[in-house]
Amino acid sequence: MKQEQTIIPIEVGRLIGSVEQFRNEGYRLAQIGCTKVGDNSFEINYSFDKDYVLQNLRITVTAETEVPSITGMYWGAFVYENEMHDLFGIQVKGINIDFKGTFIRTAIRYPFGVSVAKEEKK
């Protein structure tokens, strides 16, 4: 049996509004995950679950883009947002508990992000 899921690409500006809509419709935040798709391009998936159907909002950003935090709607999202910041170097604005890069302490700064990719190319 295939698990149902859809991916809805949106712009960064519409993120807060769309998340709020999901929250009002009674969705549960399943995960936020970042994927590096190009040299300085990241896809962020916000997955919401209701009755075992997964809806994903996808925004595509660069390391310089400021992504608004969704912790206002989903308080528990701070774990994902801090993780995203610590591993990929995504700038998330307005997290309720902002660890400022100390949630996951890594030897290399932003190990999954842009700077490492540059080092590898050398």
Partner 1 sequence: MTKQIIVPFGPQHPVLPEPIHLDLVLEDEKVVDVIPSIGYIHRGFEKLVEKREFTEYVFIAERTCGICSFIHGATYCQGIEQIMGIQVPERANYLRTIWSEYSRLHSHLLWLGLYADSFGFENLFMNAWRIRERILDVMEQTTGGRVIQGSCKIGGVRKDISNAKLAEMNRDLDSIKREMEELTTVFLKDDTVIHRTRNVGVISRQDAFHLGAVGPTARGSGVAIDLRKTGYGAYGELDFPVITDSCGDCYSRCLVRCKELFTSVDIIQQAIAKIPDGPVDVKVTGAPNGEFFMRAEQPRGELVHYLKGNGTKFLIRSRIRTPTLTNIPPLVKMLQGCDLADVPVIVLSIDPCISCTER
Residue numbers at the binding site for partner 1 (CB under 8 A): 1-3, 5, 28-31, 33-37, 45, 47, 49, 52, 54, 56, 74-80, 83, 86, 97, 99, 102-106, 111-112
User: Across-strand partners of 50?
Assistant: 53
Radius of gyration of the chain (CA): 15
Task: Please report the sign of the dihedral spanned by the C-alpha atoms of residue 73, residue 79, residue 85, residue 90.
Answer: negative
The residues near 116 (Cβ < 8 Å, ≥ 6 apart) are: 108, 110
Q: How far is the CB of 65 from partner 1 (least distance, A)?
A: 19
Nearest distance from C-beta of residue 58 to partner 1, angstroms: 10
Looking at beta carbons only, is 13 or 52 nearer to partner 1? 52
Minimum Å distance from CB 21 to partner 1? 15
Q: Which two tokens stand for residue 31?
A: 């995960």
